[in-house]
Amino acid sequence: MSEQKHAQQHVVIVGAGMAGVQTAVALREQGFTGPVTLIGAEPHQPYDRPPLSKAVLLGKAEDSAFDVDFEELGVELRLGLDVTGLRASDHEIDTEAGPVAYDTLVVATGAHPIVLPGAEGVPGVHLLRTLDDAVRLGPVLERRHDVVVVGAGWIGAEFATAARAAGCAVTVVEAAERPLAGALPAEVTAPMADWYGESGAELLVHARVATVEPGRIVLADGRELPADAVVVGIGAHPATGWLAGSGIALDASGAVTADERLRTSLPDVYAVGDCASFPSARYGRRLLVHHWDNALQGPRTVAATITGAESGPYDPVPYFWSEQFGRFVQYAGHHADADELLWRGDPADEAWSVLWLRAGVPVALLAVGRPRDLAQGRKLVETATPVDPVRAADPSVPLKAAVA
């Protein structure tokens, strides 16, 4: 894209989380000189989300604002502004403050947490997605309340960890037969279930919530749990409701179906982060990745496409991490199509990892307290390098030395 074209183009980014902020930063880094407007629904300075369930929640930090000087970047911030619709034929979005015209639009609205049916409006019921959520939950932890966490996924485990560290009595209620049932195989999550009890939290599986009332939860089997506070962590769905009627293509999950350059079905409209799925040639399927690293990497592809810079298709090895129950858990790749699972170490120990192979080639790795395994395994996944299964299953052998 020429300098003259840069100056003429107005890029509007909807969503001021990691994906939106990094898109603005990447545009400037890649030489874009036209006007950039970043619109966020929250009134706060744009901030990072992972610290919300850790330092911010425990009162060790007031916020987690990005260290970005938007004024110096020449990025106009419009915060506390809800976007209500998209009219692609007019190249305009609708907001509470009136229409905003764009030449290029980037949809980076992230995801909304799923609300527990019947719990809306009940006092003491919380989500943990925003800075305001974390601020509201801080006093709950300070008073060492009886806390019930609904959902034994990543966010549920992280909140349970923080609540136990603050001295709360914690019960985690999971409808499935085990933690992380939708994310990892049973044999991998079995040892992780023990972490709850070791930390002093109680984990109830096959436990469905019937009703939520002030001060208690009633389960479907009639059990009653005291609950000064209830924290719901049962997943999230793409925040794309505002796109209804726009003609933009969405998949069954409600995510925008972006292509390999993160372009949408509408002209001059891109989508990035938690609200967008993309085709992965590496894994032969469309991926929807609700993790921080995707929101960090995708904006570089969007910016390169907008500016006309040379860039390959967006096809990352998905990566995320979680800090829970005194352990650092990392995952890279996508294991759904693996045909072999290798254990590296004893899951009863503090540190171990699991490597998934497809036809002898690593496709995913989960590392608990073994960051070197993660770093080396991630490179093997990225390069599709075959390994010797016997050596790869030996935790004393570095993964990079297990190459076939």
C-alpha angle 213-216-217 in degrees, rounded to nearest 5: 80
Compute the Cα dihedral for 100, 106, 107, 109 and give only its sign.
negative
125 and 226 part of one domain: yes
Q: Residue 30 belongs to a domain with what CATH number?
A: 3.50.50.60
**CA–CA separation, 195 and 290 (whole Å):** 24
Q: What is the pLDDT of residue 49?
A: 86
How much of the chain exceeds pLDDT 90, in percent?
86
Quick check: 189 and 177 in contact, CB under 8 A?
Answer: no
Q: What is the pLDDT of residue 2?
A: 42
Pick from 182, 209, 232: which residue ends a domain?
232
Quick check: 146 and 226 in contact, CB under 8 A?
Answer: yes
Pick from 199, 217, 232: which residue ends a domain?
232
Any domain includes 318: no
Pick from 203, 232, 261: which residue ends a domain?
232
107 and 243 part of one domain: yes
In order of 219, 334, 392, the CA distances from 365 in angstroms are 35, 8, 12
**CA–CA separation, 388 and 402 (whole Å):** 6
100 and 241 part of one domain: yes
222 and 122 part of one domain: yes
Taking residues 372-391, report their average pLDDT. Answer: 97
Q: pTM for this one? A: 0.93
198 and 210 part of one domain: yes
Tell me the per-residue pLDDT of 264-298, one tens digit each, with 9 for 90 and over.
Answer: 999 999 999 999 999 999 999 999 999 999 999 99
Any domain includes 321: no
Any domain includes 247: yes
Quick check: 361 and 389 in contact, CB under 8 A?
Answer: no
**CA–CA separation, 42 and 63 (whole Å):** 14
Any domain includes 319: no
**Structure confidence at residue 50 as a pLDDT band (50, 70, 90):** confident
266 and 280 part of one domain: yes
- Residue 400 CA, chain-centre distance (Å), reads 28
10 and 94 part of one domain: yes
103 and 240 part of one domain: yes
Give residue 285's domain range: 3-112+236-307
Any domain includes 208: yes
120 and 213 part of one domain: yes
Element (H, E) at 217: strand 215-219
Check pLDDT > 70 for residue 300.
yes
165 and 135 part of one domain: yes
Q: What is the pLDDT of residue 121?
A: 85
Q: Residue 368 belongs to a domain with what CATH number?
A: 3.30.390.30
264 and 288 part of one domain: yes
**CA–CA separation, 72 and 29 (whole Å):** 13
53 and 108 part of one domain: yes
Taking residues 80-85, report their average pLDDT. Answer: 97
Question: How many domains are there within the chain?
Answer: 3
Any domain includes 315: no
Q: What is the pLDDT of residue 6?
A: 57
Check pLDDT > 50 for residue 3.
no
Any domain includes 313: no
Tell me the per-residue pLDDT of 128-145, one tens digit each, with 9 for 90 and over.
Answer: 889 899 888 888 888 878
